[in-house]
Amino acid sequence: MSDVDLLDKIPNNVDLKSDRKLKRALERWQPDFIDWWQQSGPAEYQDKDIYLRTAIDVDAEGWAQFGYTKMPDYRWGIFLATEVPGRVIPFGDQAGQPVYRDVPGEYRNVLRRIIVNQADTEPASVEQQRRLSATAPSLLDLRNLFQVNVEEGRHLWAMVYLLQRFFGKDGREEADELLRRRAGDADCPRILNAFNNPCPDWLSFFSFTMFMDRDGKFQLAALAESGFDPLARTCRFMLTEEAHHLSVGEVGMARIVRRSAELMAEHPGRDLRELGGIPLELIQKSINYWFSYSLDLFGGEISSNAADYFAAGLKGRFKEEQKETEHGALNQVKRIRVIEDGRLVDREVPLRNAMNECLRDCYIEDCERALRGWNRELEKAGAEVRLRLPERTFHRHLGEYGHAHFNPDGELISDIDFHRRQDEWFLTDADRRYLESIMKPCLEPGKIAGWIAPPVKGVDGKPFDFEYVRI
Ligand code: BYC
Ligand code: FE
Ligand code: FE
């Protein structure tokens, strides 16, 4: 069953050749995907050789192969993690029963919706990042951008496989719709709010891969627990690729911080703008923006949808199967801060209805860990300032806090106050113009732009000055 077929038109380990109907449907979708990639994928370098990693297997060892490829020739494949024999539904009302190998009729709509939501983010991110190839700070960074992009493309393939394999005509229609919506399009936008935001510069790109891809990690991890086994296995393998995206973001931000800290130490008291560096205040503004938008992606704090997903065994908690907790999540509560009479108060909510918040807690903890690392860079360079995450109530667009305004310390403030202080908390037009002015492409092997430190390591054991893209 899990034998890998790399020679098929669509590389896969799902025995595609024995399901002629499915194979035909996917092969019909393939040219539309390539058209989408050409139109809405990276705006440049489509005809250049890029040193890319391609998934070719699902074993922990040797799952990927590195080599030069032109992006439109990338071998996007369908790979599911190996089936665990005897796996049971890990949580919810049917905990302990054998996992679903097919879609239970009563959960068809919700499952389709979860999968479509997940799928939609993958091409959206590629569209959002489309223009960044014009301003890459090094060849290695350019390559990393493309690596992330092609793998988001593969994640779309993974979800489209599930839709076409398990949801018949509806699934095929959804697969077509996924290539029709566009990030930021006024008439036909992407589904989740943050996937319509522009990502115009590399400070935003590293913030995006740090914060938004990290939402991806936690959502995929929750779906990797699913009692719908094909979804669990698909997400398990996607997480293998996701680790690199997260490290591009976390390390990218650390490299910007390191460079800024270096410049501050060499030129005490100077405005980094005069030196071509990125002032910490701009880094903080980018964190404020992308972190708060990423928090929205977990959904409402109190959610009956989330309770239904959990009850049905479709979407679990982070590392649910590994935890020794009670997997029913019944007769338990979680304290959620809500707004009542213009004040924040604690309310006890049945745990199942607070599943979005449980996942958001794990996410915030992971972000805090990364922030500690960036702050160590500042400390080492002798800087006094520190970066921080705003409180979870700040700058939210949905859920309990979406209808009010808060400052980064999490205190309720008036609408007028919030709008008055925009320039203090988010990048201004002038900030953006400045970022644009320093982000000139730097594409000679071994060279790095002045606003970011070089990476400590290259890719696949290659040195930093390797020709990662043959320009
Ligand atoms: N924007 O009960 P609620 C990734 C809707 S990132 C707009 O609060 P629920 C990646 C919701 O649909 C991971 N609408 O939340 C990263 C519902 O609509 P209806 C993506 C939103 O249902 C970087 C209503 O509001 N994967 O992979 O628990 C690069 C009330 O919903 C938003 C997933 O998200 C929003 N942010 O939904 C590349 C996993 N949030 O019923 C890739 C799949 C909620 O009123 N998705 N709504 O019409 C899910 O599991 C869930 O649908 C959500 C939360 C996490 C989105
Ligand atoms: Fe992805
Ligand atoms: Fe990703």
CATH number of the domain where residue 153 is located? 1.10.620.20
pTM: 0.98
Q: What pLDDT is attached to residue 383?
A: 95
Is the Cβ atom of 305 under 6 angstroms away from ligand 1?
yes
Which of 110, 128, 174, 192 to mutate for ligand 1's pocket (most ligand atoms within 8 Å of CB)?
Answer: 192
Q: Is 250 in the pocket of ligand 1 (CB under 6 A)?
A: no
Q: What is the dihedral of CA 290, 294, 296, 302, to 10 degrees?
A: -140
The ligand that comes nearest to the alpha carbon of residue 213 is 1
Q: What spacing in Å lies between the alpha carbon of 382 and ligand 3's midpoint?
A: 34
Residue nearest to atom 36 of ligand 1 (CA): 297
Q: Which two tokens stand for residue 218?
A: 């936690």
Query: Is the beta carbon of 398 within 6 A of some atom in ligand 1?
Result: yes
Position 1 scores a pLDDT of 42
- Ligand minimally distant from the alpha carbon of residue 197: 1
In the reported structure, the alpha carbon of residue 349 is separated from the centroid of ligand 3 by a whole-number distance in angstroms of: 32
Which residues, 6 or more positions from 208, have their beta carbon under 8 angstroms from its beta carbon?
Answer: 125, 128, 129, 199, 249, 290
Domain extent at residue 213? 16-470
Query: What is the reported pLDDT for 118?
Result: 98
Write down the pLDDT at residue 3.
Answer: 86
The pair of structure tokens assigned to 220 is: 């995929």
Does the pLDDT value for residue 230 go beyond 70? yes
Q: What is the pLDDT of residues 297-351, one digit of tens each?
A: 999 999 999 999 999 999 999 999 888 788 999 999 999 999 999 999 999 999 9
Q: Whose CA is nearest to atom 10 of ligand 1?
A: 216
For residues 442 and 447, what is the distance between their CA atoms, to the nearest angstrom?
A: 7
Q: How many domains does the chain have?
A: 1
Structure confidence by residue, pLDDT tens digits, 359-396: 999 999 999 999 999 999 999 999 999 999 999 999 99
Distance CA 229, CA 365 (A): 28
pLDDT band (50, 70, 90) for residue 449:
very high
Burial pattern 394-419, b for ≥16 Cβ within 10 A else e, equals bbbebbbbeebbbbbeeebeeeeebe
Does 6 reside within a domain? no
Is 422 a pocket residue for ligand 1 (Cβ < 6 Å)? no
Evaluate whether residue 7 is within a structural domain: no
The contacts of residue 315 (CB under 8 Å, 6+ apart) are 114, 222, 223, 225, 226, 306, 309, 355
225 touches ligand 1 (CB under 6 Å): no
Question: Is the confidence at residue 424, as pLDDT, over 60?
Answer: yes
* Ligand 1 contact via 114 beta carbon (within 6 Å): yes
Q: Is residue 11 part of a domain?
A: no
> In the prediction, which pLDDT does 293 show?
98
* pLDDT of 62 higher than 90: no
**What's the mean per-residue pLDDT of the chain?**
97
Place of tokens 């924040």: 344
Other beta carbons less than 10 A from residue 257's beta carbon: 25
Q: How far apart are CA 435 and CA 423, in angstroms?
A: 15
For ligand 1, atom 41: residue with the closest CA: 305
- 456 has a pLDDT exceeding 90: yes
Q: Which ligand is nearest to the CA of 157?
A: 2
Ligand 1 centroid to residue 358 C-alpha, Å: 15
Cα of 194 to ligand 1 centre, how many Å? 10
CA distance 243 to 247: 6
Q: How crowded is residue 441: how many other Cβ atoms within 10 Å of its Cβ?
A: 16
- List the Cα angle 13/17/23 in 5-degree steps: 95
- Quick one: average pLDDT of 57-83? 96
CA-355 nearest atom, ligand 1: 28
Burial class (CB in 10 A: 0-12, 13-18, 19+), 180: exposed
Summarize pLDDT for 202-218 with one digit per residue, the tens. 999 999 999 999 999 99
Residues with Cβ within 5 Å of ion ligand 3? Answer: 213, 216, 245
